Amino acid sequence: MPTLIEKHLAYVDNAVVQSQKRQAKLWKSVTARRSKDGTLPLTEMILDEYIQAARMTASLMIDIEMVREELLAERAAAAPKRGARKKKAAARKKR
């Protein structure tokens, strides 16, 4: 059964995919509205929507970094420590 961190990571992964799809779709709309000389439409709302989608993707990247740190910390806490094994083995030999 997946842990809470793994469930959150799956949620964030899906959110990133959806955000990137939205961002790509909006960028196509922005570039389709370029003027004849190739400048972007700086005054149209579609550019604001694209900027918002890009910011959402960036914030999800920060969330992925936080989840990664939590997952690594959880795994490190669950892993047995090597030093403890050596000390136990040395104590057994002394007996």
Annotate 12-63 with three-state secondary structure: HHHHHHHHHHHHHHHHHHHHHCCCCCCCCCCCCHHHHHHHHHHHHHHHHHHH
**Whole-angstrom Cα distance, residue 28 to residue 64?**
26
Average pLDDT for residues 62-81, to the nearest whole number? 86
Share of the chain above pLDDT 90, in %: 46
Prediction pTM value: 0.68
Kindly report, residue by residue over 24-51, the tens digit of the pLDDT.
Answer: 999 999 999 998 898 988 888 999 999 9
Domain ranges of the chain: 4-94
